Chains A and B, each alone.
Chain A
Amino acid sequence: MKRITIDPITRLEGHGKIEIFLTDKGDVDNVYFQVPELRGFEKFCEGRPVEELSQIVTKICGVCPGCHHMASGKAADAVYGVEPPPTAKKLRELFYMAHFVHSHIAHFYALAAPDFVVGPDANPAERNILGVINKVGVEVGTEVLKQRRIAQEIQALIGGHQTHVVMNIPGGVRKGLKEAEREDIEKKILGFIDFAKFTLKIFDDVVLKNKDYVDLIVNGPYSLNIHSMGLVDKNNKVNFYDGKVRVVDTNGNEHCKYSANEYQDYVAERVEPWSYLKFPYLKKIGWKGFVDGQDSGVYHATPLSRLNAADGMATPLAQKEYERMFETLGGKPVQATLGMHWARLVELLYSAERALELITDPDITGKELQNRPNSNDIPAEGIGIVEAQRGTLTHHYWTNKKGIVEKVNIIVGTTNNNAAICMSLKKAAQGLIKQGVEVTEGILNMVEMAFRAYDPCFSCATHRLPGDMPLIVNFRDVSGHLIRTIKRD
């Protein structure tokens, strides 16, 4: 048996390694995605006042600090048994929409677009955002930077800091919004909507009008028949901040729908000896291994799964795009992994539209910012769930009577997708690496495309070395000896 190692993976957060085992004939036998790091963040949180955690958890990850801040804030609300007043809830959600806008823009232009606009097997030196801009025009690059910056400015204004967010306190937020600030943000959000529409047009022109790309998305080795998870509002429409978690099965039927405090009844976590990252699965089905199909417990929590799990989008333009996406890709549920890129852009448009709804809501400049916890209430246990860009994010805290954290469980967005990522990689590798076919850098990139679609974020901490990671592929013979190396600088 031969072994191919992709280590480390390019264009993802944190550290990970793909091991591809080949048969003697050169076909793919099995694929393992390994996360060889253990950070112990949950342990670090123990012994600290629960109201401090929302600020500490922003330092888990520099990519989605706002998501951890929101999930943590909601968990702290639950620990103290208080619901924020409408103004506070809407400010939180407005902040969160800006967080989604900046993150989804970055993912599309820096991580997804290079594979489509420049080409999946193009020269790696050009297959990046600069290559994208060379193709679509420098003015697009200017807009990318501008819209990202505006989204960050909105987060900094509402959240106190764009990365080290400090807005949430149990039962509310620290600071409100002045009318002049509201007017300024409203103008900026109009730009978000235009830019989201423009980005969808690029996707339309470059991807959907290219028969080969559509064929790659729909018929390529990038489909996985698994269940879909996502947060929905009371009308079963997509919501990122609040609602119930809904799971639909591989046929599109509702498997379950649960509140945050019920998550342990529906989701269990499996440990494998070869990875530090756990493998969540649907508890009522059980763990049946790394297999897809209706009887499997494997699910995904991604932009695509969120759209699969919902009955629609809560804003008009996003709803139209939602309908177009499912019509084009063959109806619900869509199981084409690369469809995640389109779903992410539908979410970008939704985030922009929802932000506009919130900024024009009279409550947004309200003065009632916190429902203070009652001094007679004894803090105990609380769970907060939001949709992070990379999947459903759960924070579960147990405290003593003084509100000091005794135990923490966090299921980060990417963790939900751990089994699905392993299976997607295997499927892509089996479809692309065959006996007699030279394993080129382009083929390896196409294997990685299965992985990048999930927008994975493994370390949940912003550190890496080196920053622009090389790709090293080692070919080993049956006895493990190195017979060939491909290196991408």
Chain B
Amino acid sequence: MRNAFTIARRELSAYFTSPVAYVVTAGFLVIAGYFFYFILYYSQEATLRYLFNNLTTILLFVAPILSMRLLAEEQRSGTIELLLTAPVRDWEVVLGKWAAALAFWLVMLLPTLLYPFFLSRFGDPDWFPIITGYLGIILLGGVLLALGTLTSALTQNQVVAAVLGIGLTILLWLIGAAGDFAGSSLSGFFQYLALSTHFYDLTRGVVDTKNLIYYLSVIVAALFLATRVLESRRWR
């Protein structure tokens, strides 16, 4: 665990020296601000619910870009050889990488705390859905970044990692729609698989353990697979 923390620490500081991270953060905040303004202007409602729902679409693209470098770059530049020959277990490498990406996602969300502040200045927002909404978007970030970590383990090429990641996140986001074609018995299954189903509850202020367990299990599964992919490099 201490090793995972060491790796996460290094990775997080690498984010702050990477132009990609700054560009993505700037882009994200511009779009978030734009959504916040227009949603508020037209709805006249002191809520962040619609903002969170819209931000998920952006996050589907942002997360894979944030995570594309994690393992792909180490494999390309050969620094992976340092990590895999240090007395560190493979899962610690993967966990550390993902944790750093998640920490950077929290940093990106920090400026958005201004929005609830504005809402409370000029209105009377219901705080509970705002808090659960943040919980939801943080968890969703964790899930998408874990999937991105997995695709980053698969290749040495960051662009390939990002494109694969975006494909995978979009697929998991939209898979609920497959239920509509699959007939009633399977529809529930596809609904459950889809990332989106579990998100909308949280932005409404409903905390259901089913949703939390779903998100956590996707994170664990993706990181587990990423570890296996990393291990498989040793056998080739």
A binds B: no
On B, residues with C-beta under 8 Å from A are: none
User: A residues engaging B (CB < 8 A)?
Assistant: none
